[in-house]
Amino acid sequence: MIFAFITLATFMIMEGVTWCTHKYIMHGFGWFLHEDHHQPGYPHVFEKNDAFFVIFAIPSSLSIFFGLEQQQLWLAAIGFGILFYGLAYFLVHDVLIHQRFKWFKHTKNRYLLGLRKAHKIHHKNMGKEESECFGMLFVPFKYFRKPNLKA
């Protein structure tokens, strides 16, 4: 039970970690890795931005390995929370939003459409400065509202 709680808590905390990393590192001193992600029609299968997946995978895999090796299940639970967040991030960011894989092309799910809308607003600004919506799974409620169709 405590294992599941720590894993879930870590998953949820990772949204804040991701928000801060995105705003202050990716749009800060790590812009050289993230910049190609903001270029439309980037022609390669991989982006320099994909290095951030590896960066987040390191503490996850080390936590799982040492947690299981040392029988410190709380540490393994943290690693699994990071891992599950990474999988969710991949599915939402790379599959749903950027369509790097064409799996969820025609979703009508309001939550998923709100996430996609928020991320499109983030990419509206092509530069390092003045972006908004740095989160991935929890974005402001305004992106989930249906558009007002009255002119």
Residue 149 lies in a domain: no
Size of the chain, expressed as the number of residues it contains: 151
Burial class of residue 50 in the structure, from the number of CB atoms within 10 Å of its CB (0-12 exposed, 13-18 middle, 19+ buried): middle
Residues 72-99: tens digit of each pLDDT: 999 999 999 999 999 998 888 778 777 7
Whether 5 shows a pLDDT value over 60: the answer reads yes
Residue 54 lies in a domain: yes
Indicate whether 150 belongs to any domain.
no
Query: Is position 104 within any domain?
Result: yes
- Domain range holding 54? 2-143
Q: Classify residue 131: in a domain, yes or no.
A: yes
* Closest alpha carbon to 137 in 102, 78, 88, 95: 88
Q: How confident is the model at residue 146 (pLDDT cuts 50, 70, 90)?
A: low
- Find where tokens 């029988």 sit: 71
| Stretch 19-44: mean pLDDT | 80
pLDDT score recorded for residue 132: 66
In a domain, 98, yes or no: yes
This prediction has a pTM of 0.81
Whether residue 80 lies inside any domain: the answer is: yes
Place of tokens 């790379």: 94
- Number of structural domains (the chain) is 1
Percent of the chain with pLDDT over 90: 32
pLDDT band at 9 (very low <50, low <70, confident <90, very high): very high
148 within domain boundaries: no
Q: Is residue 147 over pLDDT 80?
A: no
Long-range Cβ contact pairs of 106-112 (< 8 A, separation 24 or more): 110/144, 110/146, 111/144
Query: Do 143 and 117 contact (CB within 8 A), yes or no?
Result: yes
Higher pLDDT, 78 or 136: 78
What band does 151 get if pLDDT is binned at 50, 70 and 90? very low
